[in-house]
Amino acid sequence: MDSATLLQTFANSIVAGSIYAVIAVGLAMAFGVMKMANFAHGEFFMVGAYTVYVCYGLMGWPFPVAVLMAIPVVALLGVATERFIFRPTRENVLAGFMATAGLALILQVLIGQIWGVGLMRSVPTPYMGALDLGGVRIGWQRVLVIPSAIAMLFALWYFLYHAKAGKALRACAQDPETARLQGININRMTMLAMAISGALAGLAGALMAPIHPVTPYMGHGIILTAFIVVVMGGMESIAGAILAAVLLGFIHTFVTTLSDAVTAQMVGVACMAVVLIVRPQGLLGRVKA
Amino acid sequence: MLSLKDVWAHYGSVAAVKGISVEVAEAEIVTLIGSNGAGKTTTMRTICGLHKPTKGEILFEGKRINGLDPEKINALGIAMVPEGRHVFPQLTVMENLEMGAYLRKDAAGIRRDLEEMFTHFPILKERHKQLAGTMSGGQQQMVAMARALMSGPKVLLLDEPSLGLSPLMTQQIAKIIKKLNEIGRTIVLVEQNARLAFLLAKRAYVMEIGRISMSGLTVDLKDDPKVRETYLGV
């Protein structure tokens, strides 16, 4: 690998890691508050991409507006999922898992019925050109992903550590029963967690729409990666998810460049297995007292 | 102020509380003693709404509160310090106290109460930035008590505050409970340590397998031969 390829791959790794982080943090957060995994999280990402396809690709709205649309659209989807799937199945973890897996299929088929299953929806590139870093060129479209991800994660961190509702959300994740004793409404908190989780997945999908094939099944690959990231990072740990996302971004991108994408996926899973053997609670996970 | 009338509570088909009646008057400490599994904790959980009673009535200031959700009961003015303390381990001491005041909107009142907590529990001021989960058992008990008091409750429920604490720390907690009552707090205290409970409370209820077997003034009960033998170990 020559130095130009190395730099190029390095840059691509950071882009991939940023996207993984935004998606996985949403998944970890929903899991932290509800102790239930959302198997439709990849489809949330897909709906975010389709929002951009419809608003920007079909209706011709400005790209940033389309991206900003995806956030509330998928946040609402998250809220509806909480209200109609997670809340009724709160006492029954297995039913919750099955129901979100079902939701994933429903969303895939629904989107396929409306906009077709065919190869892919093409979303025109809104920002042509590339950033030139001494021979290494990264399309502006990809560069854009990095500050967007950082801004979103920073906003989330600020909310969780400085806003009263954010602190209450952390309290709920740590001890829901005791949170109720303080007057915190659990239903409202799980709804908030799912809204944030959806917003993050929606943003990720929206940013990826111009650089990733937009198909009803695009959530498949990403959900696998997101689960690997969350497990590696330590199920409920947001910082862990970010760290693992960046690591996996590098692993996937470098192995893909040196070999191929299938090998990259295998190496990623192997890394997760190693982490689980060495540190079963995940990189930044905590052992439950 | 708070009264339980023929309250029953079940876990599945097993009755843990079998028709108990308890009265708590304003500004008094009432204690509920009994051995493990007597139903004391279930009674407390039923008062604060974490467990729904299957029969009977719980009245608070003349209003029925049984069946309400815990967040509603907290809003009415009943705060609970659960057994085992249950601080939010990954929240700082300060954040734990803020959560106690979650439903309050009066910023000035919250600040005033925070200052009051820091005079009752000076260590919490010193450690306000520390994660609550990294503190000692006694300090966590203080966090849990201060958190409950931050809601400005009319009744404070204390479930086994001495559990797992050193004798020295137990004494310190006891002093604070006494002081809180002296300044007019109404307290319901559940304790396995009957000696401690009798020292603090004016009246006591003795629970045995889900029922109240005896009740009365602690000064009288502590001379009762059965209480002496079973609970005071004399």
For A241-269, the pLDDT digits (tens) are 999 999 999 999 999 999 999 999 999 99
* pLDDT on residue A116: 85
Q: Is the pLDDT of residue A278 over 60?
A: yes
Structure tokens at B6: 């023929």
* pLDDT on residue A124: 84
ipTM of the complex: 0.93
Mean per-residue pLDDT for A54-75? 95
Residue recorded with tokens 């470098």: A254
Tell me: the pLDDT tens digits for B34-64?
Answer: 988 899 999 999 999 999 999 999 999 999 9
Q: Is the pLDDT of residue A289 over 60?
A: no
Q: Is the pLDDT of residue A25 over 80?
A: yes
Burial (CB < 10 A; 0-12, 13-18, 19+), residue B108, is: exposed
Kindly report the CA angle at A33 between A27 and A37, in degrees rounded to 5? 40
Mean per-residue pLDDT for A23-50? 95
- Measured between beta carbons, the chain A residues lying within 8 angstroms of B95 are 167, 170-171
| pLDDT < 70 positions in chain B | 234
Tell me: the pLDDT tens digits for A205-234?
Answer: 999 999 888 999 999 889 999 999 999 999
* pLDDT on residue B222: 86
Using the beta-carbon criterion (under 8 Å), do A167 and B95 form an inter-chain contact? yes
Q: pLDDT above 90 covers what percent of chain A?
A: 78
Tell me: the pLDDT tens digits for A199-213?
Answer: 999 999 999 999 888
A interface residues, B as partner, C-beta within 8 Å: 164, 167-168, 170-171, 174-175, 177-186, 286, 289
- The band of A279, judged by pLDDT with boundaries at 50, 70 and 90, is very high
Q: A29, A33, A178, A190: which to substitute to probe chain B, counting the most B Cβ within 10 Å?
A: A178
- Measured between beta carbons, the chain A residues lying within 8 angstroms of B88 are 170-171, 174-175, 178-179
Tell me: the pLDDT tens digits for A121-130?
Answer: 678 888 888 8
- Measured between beta carbons, the chain A residues lying within 8 angstroms of B151 are 182-183
State the smallest CA–CA distance between residue A197 and chain B in angstroms.
21
* pLDDT on residue A119: 61
Any idea what DSSP says for residue B61? T
* pLDDT on residue A93: 84
Tell me: the pLDDT tens digits for A129-187?
Answer: 888 887 788 889 899 999 999 999 999 999 999 999 999 999 999 999 999 999 999 99
Structure tokens at A192: 């908030």
What gap in Å lies between CA A146 and CA A22, rounded to an integer?
A: 10
User: Got the DSSP string for A139-201?
Assistant: EHHHHTHHHHHHHHHHHHHHHHHHSHHHHHHHHHHH-HHHHHHTT--HHHHHHHHHHHHHHHH
> Residue A115 contacts by C-beta under 8 Å, 6 or more apart in sequence?
A50, A53, A54, A121, A216
Architecture of the B1-77+156-164+188-234 domain: 3-Layer(aba) Sandwich (3.40)
* pLDDT on residue A221: 87
- Measured between beta carbons, the chain B residues lying within 8 angstroms of A185 are 71
- Measured between beta carbons, the chain B residues lying within 8 angstroms of A174 are 88-91
